Structure 1
Amino acid sequence: MNYSLGCAFTLGEMLINFPYKKLQITCKDCKAITGDNHRDLLVKKVFKESVKLVIEDIIENNITFWLPLTGDKKCNMHMKRVSGQEFKNLRKGGKWKDIDFVKSMFSGYEIRFFMLGKRTPRVKTIYLNKSYRERIAQRTNEGT
């Protein structure tokens, strides 16, 4: 199945403007930690693990994660309940087939990214891998 995401970028592209000169870690330290001299590999690993921890915390503990350092716009990620006509349309399209809609009271859950600003707030769905989607479905069917 192909998804129209609108925009996509790699981890390397996200960290293009990262201030590596401000790091207090040397290439020798990186070699000891990762087995490679390049500091960008260490930064990428730390960032990936941080994002995984945030996603897992949102799924397991239903927290709202406020992104730091986003300028004057406040941005957050949290679990969003989808119900009503939107749930009906998405379920017809193949989403949430593993959800027991009676137990979930005709609703589904997904993680969304909210960009709150002076204009109308913008909302983007965060696409997750299969294991995270299965965990969300399991917790939904459990009623938690």
Structure 2
Amino acid sequence: MLRLWQFIQTVLGILFHHPIAGTTIIPILPDGRIVLIRRRDTGQWGLPGGIVNWGEDIPLTVERELAEETGLELVKICRLVGVYSAPDRDPRVHSISVVVEVEAQGTMEVRDTLEISEIQAFAIESLPKGHLSHDHDRQLKDYLDGVTTIA
């Protein structure tokens, strides 16, 4: 599986030679808890999100990815947390992620069983900080600190 992914990364790099645009979502439930997903590939907790599909804008991508990865419904996009573009922020590809805080509601449900193994809502003081996938620790810190970051 790892060799297949390395091959796919190489092909994507040859074809595009450009970063991939995506979103990262900080879903806030009505009770204030933050929803994280556990990734199947690394076993780490992380924020939901994904690649912007052809023909989509950021709000549509946020709504789609939130539903696909958590089963939750987007109530509204609250604020831009930042834009993160470091070439090594995602170990798979060079991606640029637009990070937003959203209000979400509904019943949490793993819908994408190939990518996600678990969903859980955490109180702020219970977040598994320091061990999140990608650069999600930094993104959550920026969110909790109330800053907007371009990095």
TM norm structure 1: 0.25
TM-score for both structures, normalised by structure 2: 0.25
Larger radius of gyration: 1
- Structure with the higher fraction of residues in strand conformation: 2
Q: Which has the higher contact order (CA 8 A, sep 6+)?
A: 2
